[in-house]
Amino acid sequence: MAETELEAFVNSIQKLFPRIMRYLEDEATRELIGLEVTPSQMNALVVLYGPSNLPMGELAEQLGLTESAATRLVDRLLRMNLARRERDEVDRRVVRVRLSSYGRQLAELVFDRRQEQFARFAERMSADNRQHLITGLSALLAAFADLETQSKEKR
Amino acid sequence: MAETELEAFVNSIQKLFPRIMRYLEDEATRELIGLEVTPSQMNALVVLYGPSNLPMGELAEQLGLTESAATRLVDRLLRMNLARRERDEVDRRVVRVRLSSYGRQLAELVFDRRQEQFARFAERMSADNRQHLITGLSALLAAFADLETQSKEKR
DNA sequence: AAGCAATATTTGTCAATGTCAAGTTTTCCG
DNA sequence: CGGAAAACTTGACATTGACAAATATTGCTT
């Protein structure tokens, strides 16, 4: 039975992705060495970095957590002086979270490490392959987006 | 300040990967819907699927866990009838883990779901882009391998 | 062959992560 | 005004994982 191009693709991708994800996850752990922060905590810092402050609900949403989990996470960020809670003055039900300057510094440090790490393997690829990778990943992301809009339409 | 091709690549890749990882992780959770298994438990099933049985040490190694964490994980697999422990008769210090037939079935079910899922987005990409993706990811993996051997040489 | 270091695994203890259900406070609508 | 809805927090609980100490076997050395 001859393997179609599409089947071959699915097989290759199924071998490649787990290894790449594994490497990147290990790298994400490594980039936190020496900082007293767990990966989830760093995820939160990264989400909080851009906006000046964020309601709990949005934070949970962006982290893919329940609001309850987000609450405990922020509890710890607070205890570690990485963030502050603020009561929204307009709608007093909502609690907004803002990075402390220390939290901001930590996030920036990790951004720098990440940049270096990405540059390190980028240098080891040919310019052609870099272009292939960007093109392929963009197309993949587009396929994901396509799938998501389609599954939303069904509702 | 003009951006070099390499800098542009690093920037793009830093935007693309988090989104793709996020999607794939969500998908990995989704593929377990209805099965009473957590992601880590499924990881263990997948590792145990190939070999007939595996010493605890190797299992821990392949999962990237401490042996102690592996022990508790296997405890739960046992309780759920997904695997069995066997004492190695040659070296009686080592404990080997083997999938139960139920565990094997579960793993196969997830393999099928994964295959379908990968096929679903593969269909939404052009053949050209599929080829770019494979080429790019392979080169990326080679760069990772290159980095790893180099850091080992330093020791 | 006895003794002791090394190996493989388990157990104890602890913190973080996350879920669901129930409770609190504030807002909004009829 | 009164009650449903919204935004969070809290309580109770299971899983995950780490590190250090304990246990059981093996294998080397004298």
Question: What domain range is A115 assigned to?
Answer: 5-154
CB contact under 8 A, B144 and A23: yes
Give the pairing type, strands A95-99 and A54-55: antiparallel
A52/A54 Cα distance (integer angstroms): 7
B103/A12 Cα distance (integer angstroms): 25
B132-147: per-residue pLDDT in tens?
999 999 999 999 999 8
Q: Which of residues 69 to 98 on B have a Cβ less than 7 angstroms from any strand C atom?
A: 70-72, 74-75, 85, 88, 91, 93-96
User: Is B127's Cβ below 8 Å from some Cβ in A?
Assistant: yes
Please list every residue in chain B whose beta carbon sits closer than 8 Å to the beta carbon of residue A118: 10, 13-14
CB nearest A130 (choices: B9, B133, B144): B9
User: Residue with structure tokens 């990790």?
Assistant: A110
Task: Kindly state the helix (H) or strand (E) to which residue B22 belongs, with its residue range.
Answer: helix B5-30
- Residues A54-83 as b/e (b if ≥16 CB within 10 A, e otherwise) read bbbebbbebbebeeeebeebbeebeeeebb
- Provide the CB-side half-sphere exposure for B56 (13 A, CA): 20
pLDDT of residue B154: 54
B35-88: per-residue pLDDT in tens?
889 999 999 999 999 888 999 999 999 999 999 999 999 999 999 999 999 999
User: Is A145's Cβ below 8 Å from some Cβ in B?
Assistant: no
User: Is B22's Cβ below 8 Å from some Cβ in A?
Assistant: yes
A104-154: per-residue pLDDT in tens?
999 999 999 999 999 999 999 999 999 999 999 999 999 999 988 877 665
A15/A7 Cα distance (integer angstroms): 13
DSSP state of B152: H
CB contact under 8 A, B121 and A141: no
Cβ A29 to strand C below 7 Å: no
pLDDT of residue B55: 96
Instruction: Provide the token pair at B21.
Output: 């990882």
Q: Residues 6 or more apart from B37 whose CB is under 8 A from it? A: B45, B80, B82, B106
Query: If you write DSSP's letter for every residue of A65-124 in order, what string do you get?
Result: --HHHHHHHHHHHHHTTSEEEEE-SSSTT-EEEEE-HHHHHHHHHHHHHHHHHHHHHHTT
Helix count and strand count (H, E) for chain B: 6, 3
Query: If you write DSSP's letter for every residue of B32-56 in order, what string do you get?
Result: TTTSS--HHHHHHHHHHHSSS-EEH
* Chain A residue nearest residue B6, CA to CA: A122
Please list every residue in chain B whose beta carbon sits closer than 8 Å to the beta carbon of residue A136: 129-137
pLDDT of residue B96: 96
- CATH code at position A111: 1.10.10.10
Total domains in chain A come to 1
Q: Residues 6 or more apart from A20 whose CB is under 8 A from it? A: B137, B140, B141, B144
B23/A145 Cα distance (integer angstroms): 10
User: Is B111's Cβ below 8 Å from some Cβ in A?
Assistant: no
Question: Chain B closest CA to A10's CA: distance in Å?
Answer: 6
Give the pairing type, strands B54-55 and A95-99: unpaired
Length A31 CA → C17 C1' (Å)? 20
Which residues, by CB, come closer than 7 Å to strand D? A 55-58, 67-68, 70-72, 74-75, 85, 88, 91, 93-96; B 38-41, 65-66, 68-69, 72-73, 76, 90-93
pTM: 0.86
Query: What's the whole-number mean pLDDT along residues A73-79?
Result: 96
